[in-house]
Amino acid sequence: MRLYRQEPEKFIGRSGNQCYNFGIMADKLVFLVAETDRELSSQVVEQIHAIFEGCTVYTASEGNEALKKMRNVPPKALITGLELGSKVTFHDLLRNMELDRALAGTPVLVLSDMEDSEPQFQGDLARGRIKFLSKPWKNEELAISLRSLVQAENLKNNIFQTISLKSGEILFLEGGKADSAFLVKSGKLQATRQLDGTTLLLGEVLPGEFVGEMAHITGEPRSADVRAVENTELVEIPCGTLDLLIFSKPTWTRSLLKTLCRRLKEANLRKGGLV
């Protein structure tokens, strides 16, 4: 399966917010949305269809129903709230999934401001199998979260996605969680930050360079908005595999060192007031 983007097509969702059809092709992508709030569920379903063209999305209003439907048709990812009723709670659902060979390891996106603190699931949180998305979210944030879950699932088969961005499209936003780094194959991107209502240009990212690697190295949230300024192709590399891949791919090691050296040079120039 290959992800790619087309020029966004705007439409108005049920909530009245603008959504964007990024034209990401899906090869038998199936998602389950488990949410007691039917209005929110409909909104999420609409947004998923806008992100993954041709995918299948089915819904459940409580945990027991979600478990039955997942056993009938295992999804590529589960999108769920924390409140799923008393018969099969959120934690019950995750435990039952782990006991089912077809469902074990299914990525989960939780729509909640509160991260799960149960020790049993801390490893899944660290590995990125379980992610949390705070309400209200931006359409771009949902797209980035779901894309990273699909990427992590494909990684089991050593499949790396090539992402195509049109000029003006966003790769990631400042403050977001770093799930992946990216290697630019072609095109050009710009990194910017907002300061007192002013957009500051931090620099450009060119072919052969990495982007998003600093958040992986430091463990901190994204430090800038990054968007394409011309048609751009990138290889998406989940952060959990970046270290291993760099040491197994000498050309990638050189690209990373080249990128880090240029970042250091630009930072020193800014510090010295020369740019």
pLDDT in tens, 45-103: 998 988 887 889 999 999 999 999 999 999 989 999 888 888 889 889 988 998 888 88
Mean pLDDT in residue range 142-165:
70
Is residue 135 located within the same domain as residue 172? no
Residue 82, amino acid: L
Query: To the nearest whole percent, how much of the chain has pLDDT over 90?
Result: 24
Q: Does residue 143 register a pLDDT over 70?
A: yes
Position 226 in a domain:
yes
Q: For residue 91, is it within any domain?
A: yes
Q: Does 259 fall in a domain?
A: yes
What CATH number corresponds to the domain at position 22? Answer: 3.40.50.2300
**Which residues contact residue 48 at a Cβ distance below 8 angstroms, ignoring those fewer than 6 apart?**
31, 33, 55, 57, 79, 142, 146
Do 27 and 123 fall within a single domain?
yes
Per-residue confidence (pLDDT) for residue 248, from 0 to 100: 54
Residues 166 and 103 in one domain: no
Residues 39 and 150 in one domain: yes
Residue 226 — pLDDT band, cuts 50, 70, 90?
Answer: very high
38 and 121, same structural domain? yes
Q: Check whether 174 has a pLDDT greater than 50.
A: yes
Pair (129, 199) in one structural domain: no
The CATH number for 240's domain is: 2.60.120.10
Residues 30 and 105 in one domain: yes
Most confidently modeled range among 9-13, 98-102, 129-133: 98-102
State which of 157, 177, 202 marks the end of a domain. Answer: 157
**pLDDT number for residue 54:** 84
| 136 prior amide bond cis, ω within 30 | yes
The residue out of 157, 182, 208 marking a domain boundary is: 157
pLDDT band at residue 240 under the 50/70/90 scheme: low
Location of structure tokens 């709230």: 81
Segment 247-257 mean pLDDT:
66
Looking at the structure, tell me whether residues 171 and 47 fall in a common domain: no
Residues 13 and 148 both lie in one domain: yes
Tell me if 1 is assigned to some domain. no
Q: Please, which residues have CB within 8 angstroms of residue 137's CB and are 6 or more apart in sequence?
A: 111
Structural domain contains residue 266: yes
In this structure, the answer to whether residues 86 and 35 fall within a common structural domain is: yes
Residue 2, in any domain of the structure: no
Phi first, then psi: give them for residue 269, nearest 5 degrees.
-65, -40
Q: How many domains does the chain have?
A: 2
Q: Which of 155, 116, 152 is nearest to 133 (CA)?
A: 116
Domain span including residue 23: 9-157
145 lies in the same domain as 182:
no
Residue where one domain finishes, among candidates 99, 126, 157: 157
pLDDT for 270 equals 58
Mean pLDDT of the chain: 76
Is 227 domain-assigned? yes
* Adjacent-strand bridge partners of 211: 182
Sheet of strand 30-34: strand arrangement = 56-60, 30-34, 77-80, 108-111, 130-133
Q: Specify the pTM.
A: 0.50
Same domain flag for 15 and 149: yes
